[in-house]
Amino acid sequence: MMPARSLSYPVMKPIPLIIDCDPGVDDAIALLLAFAAPELRLLGITTVAGNVPLSLTSSNARRICELAHRTDIPIYPGCPRPLLNALTTAAEVHGETGLTGITLPEPTMALQSVHAVDFIIDTILNSAPPITLATLGPLTNLAIALIKEPRIAQNIQQVVIMGGAITHGNITPSAEFNIYCDPHAAHVVFTSNLPITLITLDVTHTAIATPKRLQNLRDRQHPLCEAVANLLQSYGSYDQERHGFEGAPLHDPCVIAYLTDPHLFRTRPCPASIELQSPTSLGRTIIDWYNTSQNPKTINIATTINAEAFFQMLGDRISGL
């Protein structure tokens, strides 16, 4: 009898990760997907004002951790407004609570007293392995961390950003919400020489929670899949009216999918910058697709996603929580 061969595969060490977010419906789903990802070691969640004010993004992050029984994950509140501009929110998209489609109780888990910027700095400076950052909202926290302590740039593995657009914006004809909300913070991050992958609207607008995909989630008969379907059902109505989509685009979960399975995506390195002057294009990501500027191709731009495989992963993993 031949001894069973041990099928040893190279086991990748989980990626040490900080998620910076503004929950927000799609942020909430991204958090759930991160909780379900063995490829990730979530060190903490930092919150920022964006979709809704900071007090709500912070309490929503706590609500989602409690919903998934992950109150072990520390949550650090960050900046309540952009660097220069007044805060622009998106309650018309995410609901006044920021979590349209579900009702969750007032959270009881603690909110950390350390500021998000200090958590980001301390974690990165004191970590042996380089840290990965997933940013799902305006880039205010990361920008201030880079300004306050530039040395962190030497111990960041990569930053995967949901933001920007190669073509059309969603908050203005030119600009995507996260970048538009704090264009100056985006400029600081984009000019920091960090290894950045940008998941733009051109990708996330092809990851649509169609009625068939929502039904697939509900058919799994799992409370968290049901909650995700309810969130998306309600959140999707805005995009159906505004953009004529069949459902909600899953912006932020694409960032987590990229970290867990980058092969779901195609990418292209390009020079990219942020429009800071134009009153009509403020916050536009100027993505130099043909490198006409001959500038360094500093930003890895995601160009496509395998949406079917992404939704299969989403349902499989969240139903495993």
Q: Where are the beta strands (DSSP E) in 175-318?
A: 196-199, 208-209, 248-249, 265-270, 272-274, 285-287, 299-305
Q: Both tokens of residue 297?
A: 């191709």
Site string for ligand RIB, 240-259 (x = CB under 6 A): -----------xx-------
Nearest to 161 by CA among 307, 20, 305, 6: 20
Of 114 and 282, which has the nearer Cβ to ligand RIB?
A: 282
Burial of 118 from C-beta contacts in 10 A (0-12 / 13-18 / 19+): middle
22: contact with ligand RIB by CB under 6 A? yes
> Which one of residues 16, 24, 82, 183 is an interface residue with Ca ion (CB under 5 A)?
24
Of 40 and 90, which has the nearer Cβ to ligand RIB?
A: 90
Mark the segment that binds ligand RIB (CB under 6 A) among 22-30, 105-113, 223-231, 300-308: 22-30
Of 27 and 275, which has the nearer Cβ to ligand RIB?
A: 27
32: contact with ligand RIB by CB under 6 A? no
Q: Are 193 and 182 in contact (CB under 8 A)?
A: no
To Ca ion, the closest distance from the beta carbon of 288 in angstroms equals 25
Which 40-59 positions form the footprint of ligand RIB (CB under 6 A)?
50-51
Site string for ligand RIB, 69-108 (x = CB under 6 A): ----------------------------------------
Nearest to 131 by CA among 193, 43, 32: 43
Mark the segment that binds ligand RIB (CB under 6 A) among 4-12, 126-134, 150-158, 171-179: 171-179
To Ca ion, the closest distance from the beta carbon of 135 in angstroms equals 9
Which 185-214 positions form the footprint of ligand RIB (CB under 6 A)?
none
Task: Please work out the total of residues on this chain that contact Ca ion, with binding judged by CB under 5 A.
Answer: 6
Of 68 and 248, which has the nearer Cβ to ligand RIB?
A: 248
Nearest to 76 by CA among 144, 154, 163: 144
Nearest to 67 by CA among 104, 93, 97: 104
- Residues 175-212 as b/e (b if ≥16 CB within 10 A, e otherwise) read bbbbbbbbbbbbbbbbebebebbbbbbbbbbbbbbbee
Give Cα 174 distance to the centre of its chain.
20
Centre a 10 Å sphere on the Cβ of residue 71 and count the other Cβ atoms it contains.
14
Respond yes or no: is residue 243 known to be catalytic.
Answer: no
136: contact with Ca ion by CB under 5 A? yes
Residues contacting 2, CB < 8 A, separation 6+: none
d(CA 248, CA 307) in angstroms, rounded, equals 13
Of 114 and 286, which has the nearer Cβ to ligand RIB?
A: 286
Q: Both tokens of residue 166?
A: 């190669």
Which residues of this chain interact with Ca ion, rule CB under 5 A? 22, 24, 27, 136-137, 252
Question: Which residues are known catalytic residues?
Answer: 251
Which residues are near ligand RIB by CB under 6 A? 22, 24, 26-27, 50-51, 136-137, 162, 170, 176-178, 251-252
